[in-house]
Amino acid sequence: MHNHTTQTEKNLESAFAGESMANRKYLYFAKIARNLGENQVADLFEETAHQETGHAFAHLELLYPSKEMTVERILELAIEGELYETNQMYPEFERIAVEEGDQAAVSEFQEQARESQEHADIFIQAAKRFKALGLVERFHANRYIKALDKVQNKTAGIEPKLQSNDAGNRDNQSGSESAA
């Protein structure tokens, strides 16, 4: 689903899934223990659940190295995951649940497919907003360069040396701007 193709990458995906499930399962067990009045057992489950999150994050760091990630990429990955759930995973699970006559599971899969679609829509909107924000930032960068030009033109006669240094920096900035 996320272009992880080696066996080790697949194993990391499985290990990540297992640790993530342990986290949610222990939080669920903690809730049960607390409802049964066993607060110490509940605390133990919650504490261990937090450690499972750490284990899951360690696997994620190898699968999606944080240094390589951008806002566009993480939104894209989230959209991809939610659309996979809503278009492929849940419809297939629903089909099997119908075959097996498990009506509770059919309803559950239909409901979760709808919610995955909602999540996908929310992330798609965020991705659009983020791109728009990128344009606004570039607009501000351009205004900043123009303002800098004005200041430098004013000071040109007073401090010619400083002005020529700044002009060099400005050219670099313009260069990286157009490359972005």
Q: Using CB under 5 A, which of 4, 34, 119, 170 touches Fe ion?
A: 119
Q: Which stretch binds Fe ion (CB under 5 A): 86-94, 111-119, 138-146, 147-155?
A: 111-119
* Least distance between Fe ion and beta carbon 78 (Å): 8
Main-chain phi, psi angles of 179, to 5 degrees: -75, -20
DSSP 26-71: HHHHHHHHHHTT-HHHHHHHHHHHHHHHHHHHHHHHHHS-GGG--H
Q: Using CB under 5 A, which of 4, 34, 55, 170 touches Fe ion?
A: 55
81 binds Fe ion (CB under 5 A): no
The first and second tokens of residue 172, run together, are 């670099």
Gap between the Cα atoms of 83 and 89, Å rounded? 9
Question: Looking only at residues 33 through 52 of this chain, which bind Fe ion when binding is defined by CB under 5 A?
Answer: 52
116 binds Fe ion (CB under 5 A): yes
Which residues of the shown chain bind Fe ion in the complex (CB under 5 A)? 19, 52, 55, 116, 119
